[in-house]
Structure 1
Amino acid sequence: MKKTIIFLFALAFLSVSCDDFLDVNDNPNDPAISTPSLTLPVAQQSFVALNARTMTTLGNYLVVNWSTPSNWSANAIYSRYNFTSSDFTTIFETSYAGIFKDLTYVETYEDATGAVDYSYYKAICKIIKGFQYQLLVDLYGDVPYTEANLRGENTTPAYDDAETVYKSVIEDLAVAVDLIQNAPDNAVDPGTQDIIYGGDMDHWVEFANTIKLRMLVRLSNTGQDSYITNQIASIDANGGGYITGDVAANPGYSSSANKQQPFWDYYRTAVTGIQNSRGDYTVASEYAITYLETTTNDPRLSRLYAPASASGAFKGTQQITTLPGTGFTSEDVSKVGPGLLVSAEEDQVVMTLSEALFIQAEAVVRGYISGGDSVARDLYESAIEASFDYLGVTTDAEDYYDQPILNVSWDNSPNKIEAIITQKWVALNGTSSIESWIDLTRTGYPSGLPIPVESPGTRPVRLLYPSSEIARNSDNVPAQSSDDVFTNYPFWK
């Protein structure tokens, strides 16, 4: 999906350049007067960039895909797990102060003349909110919801129960689908102002259904099977189905400064494409390299990681801040690979088809979707094939998953949930890896992931509310302690 988006009209009103629009380090979208067409693409770009950068990085370290070489002191937090309320604050702050603020503006906008209907815009906002609220609940627990995003009307919103937020979001996703499928004739088409689907509302229905299914499967340990199956029946009833391709955004990414694809921009300098510091100190973990190369003979290895420049071999490091011996500097180990760092102009993925197929496979195995073993197997193998396609692997995926290896071959994997989550972990390396961390907390898979020796010996299961939120909303922020990082599990565990 390649879209060259021209925002000249919108940017004239926003009084910012295209550089500013694509630079999500600043949020220029606070005009005195705006419209949905001006605000939606800014919200979408902020949403896409947050998930491509901070959340992907966090996920990749916590599920042991990435590590840090011995010649860098960066990212010690990922081997020590000493998370505080000052860490990863961008996730919470950007969600509320940027993404939700702009989406709420669009969602509540009413045309003064009544001549134009914004049902499509409102539906898109509800769907993006649903995606992001799910992650916030999974990472923090209780969060502001019913009183959130009211700006001056309520600057200290109450926190809602995590499960209540989840189920409210599930309902809102159904409302979004209804808005799309029953929009009036004067509903305005978002067109190219929608940098994700270009105004194709059928695809937005598919995306809404897929997010909803992901949330419902997340509830599998809560003893609410009847609720889950009833909600899936409602998905079936709307007839929209699930995504059939990668969900990705592109407002016109280029190699120019502040216009690069967000993931690429994190590891490469503008214009030249030369590796930056983060690109140098973000390297493969020893565990991931061994698993892909030796344990499972996975051809995705050369797309997920680049050969070490010093030896031409694939090599990783342990997640510790001081490595013994030699051969562990950034030149000696593998870095982020060419299947992930494609180009500055590449679409920025939001959710891969592979992830959606794995979610459906799990739903079938758990009995939420009918079809039995044969359907689950087809979905599982199709998900692996989709991962191969996304990464640009040239060999046949069937040659890989036909190997009689545990958690690779369907027939040789007695625990189907473990096989699904393990393969999902491989497929989400470098993309939606935050989901792999959440899956690990939920299921315990993939099993055998090492825990850094410098850590307390237990993997984190959540983040702490930011100190900035505690300072301004102290009466409402739930009490927390440093132990909560390891002991305060999500409600669905």
Structure 2
Amino acid sequence: MNKLKYIISSVIVAASLTSCNDYLDINENPNSIHAENITPELILPGAMAQSYRAQAGDMMQFGNLMMNSWAGDVYHYGGLYPNEFSLSAVNSQFYDGIWDNIYQNVNNFVVIEKYPNGNHAQDKYVAMAKVMKAFYMQYIVDLYGNAPYTEAFKGQNNLAPKYDKDVDIYKSLITNLDEAVALIDLDDEAAVDPAGKDIIFGGDMAKWKAFAYTVKLRFLLRMSNVTGDLATYRNAQLSALSTASGMGTGLMTTDVIEKPGYSSSDNDKLNPFAFNYFYNTTPAEVQNHIVITSSEHLAIALNGNVEANTTAEYQKFNGVVDPRRFRLFTNVNYNGVQKVKGVRQGATSGQPGAPTDNQSVSKLAGGNLAGSGTFANAGQLLTLANARGGVVMSLAEIKLLLAEASLRYPALFTGGQTAFNAAISASATWLGVTAANTNNYLTLIAAKPGLGWTGTDAQKLEAIMTQKWLALTNVNPTEMYIEYNRTNLPYNPVAVNAVKPRRPYRLVYPNSEFATNSANVPNIGSDVVFTKNQYTPFWNQN
């Protein structure tokens, strides 16, 4: 990656957007189209599809490993995830693809924002672009802090953009969300209907408005711990959002799914989560599916602590078997018990936390790809996954945002236990769990502080974050990792071979910035990312 990330990504995505399958051809020649022919309707679907590809790639692995949901099959493969487990090399190469991919994709939304729109014809495209830019650019701030923004995305006019303060980027993105809502409300008669070019909501602008409100709530809850003038700003924005959204009733009420028309015709057109972590078009098992296992930490939670682990933080799970467990990871008969069998992060064969029977370990299961659909082989699973699309933002996350907002700001938002339970039901439904099993689980956790909606506000917040961890595993775990950094919840032990007491509060700027923007990139190394300091994202410095 080099400084061209600021200027060419829109051309790459738009190079072949003539049908819903064409924009999944990610290896086309970017010189085959003229810039003047790149219109918002050509850019939008590819920009959305490629943005999700980043979510389903590095961000999926990073978040699941950082949240101690995944481990590795240490019986057949050595040296798995050494940097993630030991935390000894959190440097400029550590998941640098997150930064590079997000900037490439956000650039495409900026191109749409800047497209000539004097007659309001592009209003709906601009509104969608503003929401998507805010959604993804938030991850840059939350994972890195200060970043190029006002001088970024200017093409050859500025190949070395300055770094803006993270708080200023946040405020600008929140303004973008308000601007998106204003454009939607304007509903100018000249505005082009995006219809099928919108691979998320099919041109339903009421849903885009609800999505904008939801993303804005996520921004403001991220700022839950700020003080002083920032708290005043946050509270004013929360009050305005409460009024506009009907105290939260106007938030999204469905999963936010992108469906570009995935198919099994070649690997580039497969659902990227399926391709990255399950099977290719052969269909053959990909390496990630071979080596990834459930972590012991997550298995204890899913199994109701049948392992009888005495660590205090696991006691809230005692006797509560999670019905989502075999939709997330495969069922193993271990010593006569049907369970998810995980591996302790950082353990090697023969150490505590590593099963003695090398066949008894749980791998990724197909719930996220198939839901309640049935499949007898890999090809059928891929067909279901392709038709299903990818989760940009889950309804479970949305409802848990509302539950937290009602807990922290009860005068502004309603939801409480209703939203909390709806989140769990939404997660279970997505994975294909029956309503009866979900309702039984809700009954079991009702009296479990830290797991169900009961006890003190602090215990309810712990329950929200515990359920968000479970719901976002294999869906959007990087979001949960950021929430963990904000709340220090839920319990998240480091690997047995970790050289640091906790995982990093932020990431190091990538090599691409030190190579091409050295005059501006802050020289931050791994020595500062494990403590709260001036380089930690602004909302997490208190």
TM-score by length of structure 2 reads: 0.83
What is the deviation of 1:479? 1.9
- Partner residue in 1 for 2:366: 338
Mapping 1:7-22, distance limit 5 Å: 14=16, 21-22=23-24
Mapping 1:191-206, distance limit 5 Å: 191-206=195-210
- Partner residue in 2 for 1:168: 172
Counterparts of 1:390 and 1:154, CA distance in 2: 44
- Partner residue in 2 for 1:5: none
2:390 is matched with which residue: 334, 348, 352? 348
What is the deviation of 1:106? 1.5
- Partner residue in 1 for 2:8: none
What is the deviation of 1:116? 6.4
1:267 is matched with which residue: 270, 277, 280? 277
What is the deviation of 1:450? 4.1
1:391 is matched with which residue: 409, 422, 431? 431
Secondary structure of 2:257's counterpart equals strand
1:31/1:238 CA distance change after superposition, 3 Å: farther
| Alignment pair present for 1:89 and 2:96 | yes
- Partner residue in 1 for 2:58: 54
Cα deviations across residues 253-291 of structure 1 (Å, max 9, x unaligned)? Answer: 122212111111112333344321111111100111011
1:118 is matched with which residue: 113, 116, 122? 122
1:379/1:486 CA distance change after superposition, 3 Å: same
Counterparts of 2:17 and 2:409, CA distance in 1: 53
Cα deviations across residues 203-236 of structure 1 (Å, max 9, x unaligned)? Answer: 1111111010001001010024442232123224
- Partner residue in 1 for 2:105: 99
Q: Percent identity?
A: 35
1:301/1:472 CA distance change after superposition, 3 Å: same
- Partner residue in 2 for 1:365: 407
1:116/1:216 CA distance change after superposition, 3 Å: closer
Counterparts of 1:87 and 1:361, CA distance in 2: 34
When structure 1 is superposed on structure 2, of 265-274 and 181-190 the one drifting more is: 265-274
TM-score by length of structure 1 reads: 0.90
- Partner residue in 1 for 2:377: none
* Alignment-mate amino acid for residue 333 of structure 1: V
- Partner residue in 2 for 1:250: 259
Secondary structure of 2:417's counterpart equals helix
| Alignment pair present for 1:75 and 2:81 | yes
Mapping 1:287-436, distance limit 5 Å: 287-293=297-303, 294=305, 295=317, 296-308=320-332, 313-320=339-346, 322-324=348-350, 327=355, 331-342=359-370, 343-345=384-386, 346-367=388-409, 370=412, 375-394=415-434, 395-403=436-444, 404-412=447-455, 415-436=459-480
Counterparts of 2:31 and 2:242, CA distance in 1: 38
1:15/1:356 CA distance change after superposition, 3 Å: closer
1:123/1:57 CA distance change after superposition, 3 Å: same
Secondary structure of 1:67's counterpart equals strand
Secondary structure of 1:248's counterpart equals strand
- Partner residue in 2 for 1:280: 290
Secondary structure of 2:184's counterpart equals helix
* Alignment-mate amino acid for residue 346 of structure 2: I
Which blocks of at least 5 consecutive residues in structure 1 are unaligned?
A: 1-9
The question of whether the paired residues in 2 share the 8 Å contact of 1:279 and 1:335 is answered with yes
The question of whether the paired residues in 2 share the 8 Å contact of 1:284 and 1:317 is answered with yes
Secondary structure of 1:187's counterpart equals coil
Counterparts of 1:37 and 1:147, CA distance in 2: 25
What is the deviation of 1:428? 0.8
- Partner residue in 1 for 2:236: 230
Cα deviations across residues 123-155 of structure 1 (Å, max 9, x unaligned)? Answer: 111111101111110000001111110011111
Secondary structure of 2:342's counterpart equals coil
* Alignment-mate amino acid for residue 360 of structure 1: L
- Partner residue in 2 for 1:183: 187
Which blocks of at least 5 consecutive residues in structure 2 are unaligned?
A: 1-11, 306-316, 371-383
1:452/1:27 CA distance change after superposition, 3 Å: farther
What is the deviation of 1:454? 3.2
The question of whether the paired residues in 2 share the 8 Å contact of 1:143 and 1:160 is answered with yes
Number of matched residues?
A: 479
* Alignment-mate amino acid for residue 481 of structure 2: W
Cα deviations across residues 284-335 of structure 1 (Å, max 9, x unaligned)? Answer: 0011101110223211111111124998742100111633267478743111
1:193/1:39 CA distance change after superposition, 3 Å: same
Counterparts of 1:118 and 1:26, CA distance in 2: 26
* Alignment-mate amino acid for residue 382 of structure 1: A
Cα deviations across residues 364-416 of structure 1 (Å, max 9, x unaligned)? Answer: 111165367xx411111111111111111113423212223232232256621
Counterparts of 1:229 and 1:298, CA distance in 2: 37
